[in-house]
């Protein structure tokens, strides 16, 4: 078993609502979580020969990992113009006690990246 670890992890999610058989362009919002430590569990040693710490590596595009853990994070939100203050507050509250899916929101795009120096640990 191998663990790939990073001290800079970023997950970006785009959220939308299903309307009339599609996700309309608006309203949508972005939620970005940044962690100061993260690891994924791999069954094979990762090939990092082409890894550039400045560009980073997309976890879901490159690895088939079994488990993950991220720690010490913070969240940033990006709302489009015209997104009401009431809707913003509701989403922030849901994020604290539940999940935006409780109000019909769904993740329609998600990507998670490791940046900076990486550590591979074999156990």
The DSSP code sequence of the chain is -EEEEES-EEEEEEEEE-BTTB--SSS-EEEEEEEEEEEEEESS----TT--TTT-EEHHHH---SEEEEEEEEEEEE--TT--HHHHHHHHHHHHHS-GGGGTEEEEEEEEEE-S-EEEEE-
pTM of the entire predicted model = 0.86
Residues 68-89 pLDDT 10s? 999 999 999 999 988 999 999 9
Domain ranges across the chain? 2-122
Residues 17-65 pLDDT 10s? 888 878 777 789 999 999 999 999 999 999 999 999 999 999 999 999 9
């Amino acid at each position: 078993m191998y663990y790939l670890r990073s001290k800079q992890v970023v997950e970006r999610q785009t959220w939308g609502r299903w309307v009339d058989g599609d996700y309309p362009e608006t309203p949508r919002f972005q939620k970005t979580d940044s962690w100061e430590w993260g690891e994924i569990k791999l069954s094979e040693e990762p090939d990092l020969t082409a890894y550039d710490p400045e560009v980073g590596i997309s976890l879901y595009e490159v690895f088939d990992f079994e488990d993950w853990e991220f720690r010490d994070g913070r969240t940033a939100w990006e709302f489009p113009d015209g997104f009401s203050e009431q809707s913003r507050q509701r989403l922030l509250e849901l994020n604290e006690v539940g999940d935006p899916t409780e109000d019909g929101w769904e993740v329609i795009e998600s990507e998670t990246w490791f940046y900076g120096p990486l550590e591979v640990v074999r156990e």
